[in-house]
Amino acid sequence: MAETLLQHPVLTNFVYPFLIVFFIVFAVLEKTKILGEEKRQINALISFVIGLIFVSAVYPKIFVGNMILFLSVAIVIVFVVLMLWGFVFSTKEGFVMTSGMKWGLFAVITIALIIGILWASGVSGRVYDFLFNQSWSEAFWTNLIFVILIGVALAAVIRSSGK
């Protein structure tokens, strides 16, 4: 696989971790005003030193790198969920969905999101094999579908008799 300039080890092992720590520490110092009002130079200098100390340590750098990767994936997942949620639960003039339609679409979106996460993480084949290509899977899924159908039928009967 070809390595780009942005993937160079100097950048990924030193510059990026330094920049993220520098900016986070600087932002915290600016927001909290621990060192006083209008002390940007001192905040920047302290952030610079903390960033350099951080880059010299191996384990914290690896830990923060893994957390940043997790955060990036989590932000994308939250963004997709909120976009789909906005499409489903929008209440502007025009088409208004009933409560049942909203919850049905919510269930479909949740299932699609779980499938998307499994696919993106690369474990979808193993999960599919575990759930559907086992000796017990045919009987399990058949029984589960029957239990769900009986539950839906009972809920419909109870709801209609309560009116």
Looking at the structure, tell me whether residues 127 and 147 fall in a common domain: no
Residues 3, 17: Cα–Cα separation, whole Å: 19
* Closest to 101 measured CA to CA, from 114, 117, 90: 90
Contact assessment for residue 113 and residue 84, using Cβ atoms and an 8 Å cutoff = yes
Of 41, 56, 71, the residue that ends a domain is 56
Residue with the two structure tokens 């479909």: 108
Looking at the structure, tell me whether residues 139 and 126 fall in a common domain: no
Residues 6, 93: Cα–Cα separation, whole Å: 47
- Per the structure, the complete domain to which residue 23 belongs is given by 1-56
Looking at the structure, tell me whether residues 98 and 155 fall in a common domain: no
Looking at the structure, tell me whether residues 86 and 128 fall in a common domain: yes
> What single DSSP character describes residue 136?
T
What is the pLDDT, as a whole number, of residue 62? 82
Looking at the structure, tell me whether residues 78 and 127 fall in a common domain: yes
Looking at the structure, tell me whether residues 66 and 126 fall in a common domain: yes
What is the pLDDT, as a whole number, of residue 91? 63
Instruction: Please state, as a whole number, how many other Cβ atoms lie within 10 Å of the Cβ of residue 109.
Output: 17
Mean pLDDT by 10 residues, the chain (163 residues): 80 89 94 91 94 89 79 82 74 66 79 75 76 87 92 88 69
Looking at the structure, tell me whether residues 118 and 82 fall in a common domain: yes
What is the pLDDT, as a whole number, of residue 59? 83
Q: Provide the number of structural domains found in the chain.
A: 3
* Closest to 61 measured CA to CA, from 9, 112, 2, 137: 9
Contact assessment for residue 41 and residue 23, using Cβ atoms and an 8 Å cutoff = no
Which pTM does this prediction carry?
0.50
Looking at the structure, tell me whether residues 49 and 7 fall in a common domain: yes
Residues 20, 68: Cα–Cα separation, whole Å: 9
What is the pLDDT, as a whole number, of residue 112? 76
